[in-house]
Structure 1
């Protein structure tokens, strides 16, 4: 079960809901987890420092529980804290906090998903990864689609593993066939 991350201010509460949604979607997409519909929750998200009412989570067959808190701190950064609980042993499995700029909330959700995945499965998570690919501009029925500004009809693009944050890296004026990462993994050649 993944509860909404609690936030006091409107911006923090909104970020908390979005972070929880991304975490639940990531874990479900892995095929190894089935997040429980929040409508089934008996206990709502509460204070992160208080122990969950584990009996309420066992009743709905939750094996693990993710709770979190978000807040915008004085310097404008977003603080995101979470706990992963084993519902049956009533033990905390992991608890971490991250600071980031507010626009980076989605990346933090992926990093948290990786931590949860690693702690439960023992395998490294893959949610904080990006996909680089060659996007081909299709021709329409008249054969139009490529032009002098995009003569090859192919552009290098990048996106998060969940399809979000898509952007083009090239404009199509150069031939792109097989993108490769540099040895440092910091550049695409």
Structure 2
């Protein structure tokens, strides 16, 4: 993928570039503020922009609004504040990831957002609730689906079989009233994530 990094810390940008290039991606530009990030995105048409939320010049939220979702943007930030995440997603971010994420997780999230999925941090308190009830295990499977992971990857992560993952996906589709995995992801990532049911299934 062709990626633009927007962050006001040059040392962080340099380290992030090395990580992304190690995974086979190309960083086509580094920008120190939202305004230059928007200009570079329009000039270079990258596959995705990786952008900090809070910068001294050119706030990430304003840059998100200016880009309007084209190209997609993954916010990379230190802020675990639910209101920051809600503001970023409302402004058009394709995902929100904390700077303490593991490199492998960051790359997977980048790839998921570039392919149209919306992704969230592991510990996310900003997702709105709905009236649908989910068990802990169903929520874990849903998290994996939202991150663009395959059934095999989710099964390995949770220590269950791929058949069991498919069964959970079918139950999730029934609960959300949708007919496909794609519809499930759209529905869940659009602010309709359910409340905890308490016990695991």
TM-score, normalised to structure 1, is 0.31
Compare CA radii of gyration and give the structure with the larger one: 1
Bigger share in strand: 1
Bigger share in helix: 2
TM-score, normalised to structure 2, is 0.30
